[in-house]
Amino acid sequence: MFTSLVNISYFCDLLSHTQGHISYYVTGKEDEQPAVFTGDTLFIASCGKFFEETAEQMYQSLNVTLASLPKSTRVYRGHEYSVNNLQFAVTLEPDNLRIQKKLAWARNQWQAGQATIPSTIEDELETNPFMRVDLPEIQERVGCKSPVKALGEIRKQKDNWRG
């Protein structure tokens, strides 16, 4: 007899980094935190480059689909870019103490040879500039008047940033 220990859902329409990108959402028992495996869509304090998709599609994937998950959802990303991403995030929000604290933690983890996963949806909503584009101060900081345009501009800046 087989007993299911977890429930796995996948978002096959997370159009963002590449066409057909899939993320997995895993839930367990009621007292366990859910998890999402985002591949190259959502990183700690960043998102994937736009290879085949648009800022609008990335906005929908990050700020509608993933942001709607429970805040306690653990986030497992595809690559280790956390320190670099957080350094960039500080340039956009130099007064955001959560970003500063997470950057210090990520540096310590890196120096100790430890991973910086998991994050949580709550952490990303507070430290990831790509998930904070609905905030007027972020839009103003990058000279845009809409969340989607701000997301596109931030991605462009990140692509050219050499920190």
What are the structure tokens assigned to 61, written together?
């994937």
Percent of the chain with pLDDT over 90: 69
**Residues paired with residue 42 on neighbouring β-strands, in sequence order:** 47
Higher pLDDT among residues 3 and 64, named by residue: 64
Higher pLDDT among residues 3 and 96, named by residue: 96
State how far the Cα of 102 lies from the Cα of 142, in Å rounded to an integer: 22
* Distance separating the N- and C-terminal Cα atoms of the chain: 55
Confidence (pLDDT) at 157 = 98
Cis peptide before 118 (omega within 30 of 0): yes
The H or E element containing residue 58 is helix 55-59
Q: How far is CA 6 from the centre of its chain?
A: 23
Q: What are 84-139's pLDDT values in tens digits?
A: 999 999 999 999 999 999 999 999 999 999 999 999 999 999 999 999 999 999 99
Give the residue carrying structure tokens 């859902």. Answer: 9
